[in-house]
Amino acid sequence: MLVAGQGPVEENAQNLGFKHVVTIEALRKAYPLLDMVDQSRRPKQMPPPTTGFPTIEGVILFGEPVRWETSLQLIIDVLLSNGNPGAELQDVPYPHLPVLACNMDLLWMAEAKMPRFGHGTFLLCLETIYKKVTGQDLKYEALIGKPSTVTYRYAEYLIKQQAEKQGWKSPIRRLYAVGDNPMSDVYGANLYNNYLKSAHQNQVQAGVKRSLCAASPQTEDHLELRKDCNNSVESCESILVCTGVYRHNAEGPSSMKECTTETVFHGHRDFCFDPSLVEASYIVQDVNDAVQLAFKKENWS
């Protein structure tokens, strides 16, 4: 697997279960003729042929890299060559190798007055280049991280683990998702809230069918469905804070279901724009206010 991003990306991939991992930098060193934008890094003489480098079978995009031009070029090379970037360009394989990506925020807020490019911007560049070169859409094996439902499902799993460690016997009924980006944090929380409602509806329907078909051969299937949908959590409330990419102009207390007035969809290409999904359940000034709001809603204050 070719991994891209910053930090210990090789170690992170191995911790996730990928046994054979190579980085963009390792690929660049193995094929020094591929990275040609920075003239100071071009080889001064023709390097010997590359031998022994493994065929790449997939790509993992953890986050935005430092040298975008290098990562964009080499990832495209890998996809166009079916994992053998040192080969001459033949027929472009399609579908291409599996691509997994996480961290889809187009923008994020740092110390600068305006938002900064996030990994979503890098993905947009990669998708646009691939489409321009091949005429085909870049396909993802999976998109992981906000606003993907699987990420909130995993967060719920971790929260329940913590509750068990604390000896908390009462079932968890509500989750509160705090974030500063309507297009990822709020969108994902509301999407997961819809998932929870759908899961409970399926659970009720499965229970009815199970009682009606108790003696039928399908009973086992209904039990399995009930097991999959059996979840104490009933809702996921989205709380938007004003310390990131979102700025709330009006002063005053938190307001329920207040529209964030987003008119341009900054979400990822593979997520449809539903205006209701970027409407936060509550809008507060900062994370401390969000925690206090959750305490108040749960009668803990």
Q: How many CB atoms lie within 10 A of CB 132?
A: 8
Spatial contact of 123 and 268, defined as CB atoms under 8 Å apart: yes
Q: Which residue segments constitute the domains of the chain, with CATH numbers given?
A: 2-41+54-143 (3.40.50.1000), 146-205+232-249+266-300 (3.40.50.1000)
pTM above the 0.85 mark? no
Q: How far is CA 41 from CA 36, 88, 233, 278, in A?
A: 7, 22, 54, 44
- How wide is the angle at C-alpha 176 spanned by C-alphas 249 and 168, nearest 5°? 155
- Over the stretch 60-110, which tens digit does the pLDDT of each residue have? 999 999 999 999 999 999 999 999 998 888 899 999 999 999 999 999 888
CB-count burial class (<10 Å; 0-12, 13-18, 19+) for 66? exposed
Are the CB atoms for 244 and 180 separated by under 8 Å? yes
Instruction: Look at 199 and 135; give whichever has higher pLDDT.
Output: 135
- Both structure tokens of 104: 């889809």
Say if residues 56 and 97 touch (Cβ distance below 8 Å): yes
Return the number of other C-beta atoms located less than 10 Å from residue 39's C-beta. 6
Q: If we measure between CA atoms, which residue out of 7, 1, 20, 199 comes closest to residue 100?
A: 1
pLDDT digits (tens, 9 = 90+) for 133-173: 999 999 999 999 999 999 999 999 999 999 999 999 889 99
Asked if pLDDT for residue 12 goes beyond 90, the answer is yes
pLDDT tier for residue 14 given thresholds of 50, 70 and 90: very high
Buried b or exposed e, range 179-212, using 16+ CB within 10 angstroms: bbbbbbbbbbbbbbbebbeebbeebeebeebbee
Is 256's pLDDT higher than 50? no
